[in-house]
Amino acid sequence: MKLPTVGDRTPTDQDVTTYTVDDKSVEIVSDSGEGAQKCGQIFGAVSAKMGNGVWTVEIIPAEVEPPPRNPAGASGIRVRLGSEPVTNWGDETNLVIAFNEQALLGRHRLNALADDATILIENMWATHPDPEIRDQWSAAMEELSEKDYRIVEVPMEDACLDVVDNPRRGKNMFVLGMLAWIYDRDLELCRAQIADAFRKKSPEVTERSHRLLESGYRWAGEHLDFRYRIPTMESKREMVVMNGNEAIALGAVAAGLELAAMYPITPATSVSHMLGDVFERFGGVVHQAEDEIAAAGVSIGASYSGKCAFTITSGPGMALKTEFLGLAIMTEIPLVVVDVQRGGPSTGLPTKVEQSDLLAAIFGQPGDAPHVVVAPATIEECFHVMTTARRIAEVLRTVVIVLSDANLATGVAPYPRPLLSAEWQSTPPDQRPIPEGQRPYDWDPDTGISRRFIPGQLGGEHTVTGLAHDERSKVAYDSAVNVRASTMRSRKLAAFQSTLRPPPVNGDEHGDLLVVGWGSTKGAIEEAVERARREGLAVSSLHLTFLSPLPPGLKEIFSHFTKVMTVEINYSDELGDPFITEQNRRRGQLSWLLRGATLVDVDCWTRVLGEPLRPGKILGAIRDNLPKGGSA
């Protein structure tokens, strides 16, 4: 361990080394409630506004206020900056700002830090009156010395006391000031971003935060000997910066969805917070239902009445809504369901990412329940997917499940500002009287599609039912009707599938290994593939947006690669584990799906670490899984 280098001297300009890098990650870790995330969000937004590529990921404990100074309760945020657009959270972090050594230990033990990371740590604990805390500090420093970290002690609390009475409230803004100096951020932009972040609080909060920002900036300038410069790329397009949940909420507004019913669940809830803030100003209704089931029921009732409604939840809520999804599919009522996936099963990892709901989303409804499942891969897609989902739901009269996840939900990144179109707000359904003889399920035999009857339409009176029914919506138990209705519901998916294009291959269309992914892993997979290709490996990747139905052409694409392997954030057995054979191995969920659909022996590499995949780890998996005799 290197000795602390600051506090005892003031570096001159000559002492400061500025490193120019094109990719840098910083983590801010603290106890819950100390504002590390707010600090990182502001820092990320300012960096994006200055033209850097940015990706931020929140590190959130499951509790609101877990016991302080506890490695498992570490709360924080990682901000990855780049000269070019950043599509994922990267590998290990290079710079850490820690509010206490225990939160830092939590990240250290998860191997989140680069071996040579620089750590700026609050040092009040070293001299704390409580001997137990002083001992914990010493033990932590001992443990941290395993790695070649550069640890810089910072008297944050002392420095903040110069500005405020209670440094616990505001230390984060001091840290923001330090970061602003280290990365040479525009202080005016910082001030404006702070003012926006605290716009709902009293002006004193913003004013105090500004003073802390300046104090941190000044302290860093007087004491630190390193700075980073990350060149920015001139962007030709106007950009916006937000997280995936905010993008979904604004996407729902853009899509003209008019009712959102939900029940609070992590990590989906922030969509509802956002909607609660903006949706009703746009003429929508946000209904916080008494439970997940009711949220589905209210949405279906609203869609039945002629609007298109949506409900948003996470895995446990999906399970509760299952029966209602079947009803919407059976009665052919359009419905958009957003599942912001978290770790599971059961309560699982509420705040952490997993992609384990795929098969449940597609096949989880009892009976044959054909519907559409789509997964946005980026924050930009989180915005646009809502319009797509609504359109599909209304045209096909079925359920569209949108699979987001905790990585997209809390990841913040800039994306090109959407060129909004009023046409996204579909026109209300045809409300004219129903001509004599038309029936509520006049299925087109080729497409299975039929016209939707809306209450209020003269001559369209009928009762929709979850029971088997014929074209008139009359309950029918005979085989012929059941076969026909089942066929028509399924045909809608086939007809829709015929409109999809084969997905584009990232990299050469021939090679040794094709990595297939879905959802939020796209950025990390493509970064890993690019690095592998720079190493000369014949690797390409394919990313699937539609999971049900699958797009056409997959078998053909797969046939040009020696090996196909999915990369996913869900569980799979490893060959070589006790009892595991090729036959009984439980595979990654997309892998199951692709094997069934293509009869290709699709392998998988999956992890359930409770964090987004790191491109470096995927690169390792690519190297390990190249078929023998490959080009490496």
Partner 1 sequence: MSGESCGLLHAARDDDRVFDRVDYEGPVARWCSGCGDHSVLSAAQRLLAEKQLAPENTVFVSGIGCSSRFPHYMKTYGFHGIHGRALTIATGVKLTRPELDVFVVMGDGDCISIGAGHWVHAVRYNVDMVALLLDNEIYGLTKKQTSPTTPQGYKSNTQPRGSYLPAMNPLEATLGITNASFVAQTAEWIPAHLFATLKAAYEHSGFAFVRILQRCPHFTADIFGEAAKQPDRVEILEGPGGIRVEALDAIYKNKVEHDSSDLAHARALAQDMTAIRLGIFFEDESRPRYEETRSIPQHSAHEKMELLEKEFERYAV
**Shortest reach from residue 206's CB to partner 1, in Å:** 16
Quick check: bond before 267 cis, omega within 30? yes
CB nearer partner 1, residue 173 or residue 254:
254
Residue carrying the six token digits 């006049």? 442
The CA-based dihedral angle spanning residues 323, 329, 332, 337, taken in that order and rounded to the nearest 10 degrees: 80
CB nearer partner 1, residue 9 or residue 417:
417
Helical segments of 145-223, H only:
156-161, 171-182, 187-197, 203-223
Supply the DSSP string of 346-407, one letter for each residue: TT-BTTS-----HHHHHH-SSS----EEE---SHHHHHHHHHHHHHHHHHHTSEEEEEEEHH
**Shortest reach from residue 8's CB to partner 1, in Å:** 40
**Shortest reach from residue 54's CB to partner 1, in Å:** 9
CB nearer partner 1, residue 100 or residue 303:
303
CB nearer partner 1, residue 166 or residue 421:
421
Cβ 518 vs Cβ 632: under 8 Å: no
**Shortest reach from residue 451's CB to partner 1, in Å:** 15
Query: How many Å from the N-terminal Cα to the C-terminal Cα in the chain?
Result: 38
**Shortest reach from residue 282's CB to partner 1, in Å:** 5
CB nearer partner 1, residue 163 or residue 476:
476
Supply the DSSP string of 241-302, one letter for each residue: EEEHHHHHHHHHHHTT--EEEE---TTTHHHHHHHHHHGGGGT-EEEE-SSHHHHHHHHHHH
Cβ 226 vs Cβ 118: under 8 Å: yes
CB nearer partner 1, residue 182 or residue 328:
328
Distance CA 404, CA 336 (A): 13
436 CB burial (10 A radius; 0-12, 13-18, 19+): exposed
**Shortest reach from residue 591's CB to partner 1, in Å:** 33
Which of these, 65, 42, 63, 44, lies nearest to 53 by C-alpha position? 44
Which H/E stretch holds residue 16?
A: none
Residue type, 510: H
Phi-psi region of 184 (alpha: psi -120 to 50; beta: other; left: phi over 0): left
Cβ 397 vs Cβ 268: under 8 Å: no
Distance CA 526, CA 543 (A): 9
Distance CA 157, CA 461 (A): 70
CB nearer partner 1, residue 229 or residue 462:
462
Residue carrying the six token digits 């609101």? 64
**Shortest reach from residue 56's CB to partner 1, in Å:** 14
**Shortest reach from residue 283's CB to partner 1, in Å:** 5
Q: How many CA atoms lie within 13 A of 565 on its CB side?
A: 23
CB nearer partner 1, residue 397 or residue 533:
397
**Shortest reach from residue 454's CB to partner 1, in Å:** 9
CB nearer partner 1, residue 394 or residue 568:
394
**Shortest reach from residue 332's CB to partner 1, in Å:** 13
CB nearer partner 1, residue 174 or residue 453:
453
**Shortest reach from residue 167's CB to partner 1, in Å:** 30
CB nearer partner 1, residue 145 or residue 463:
463
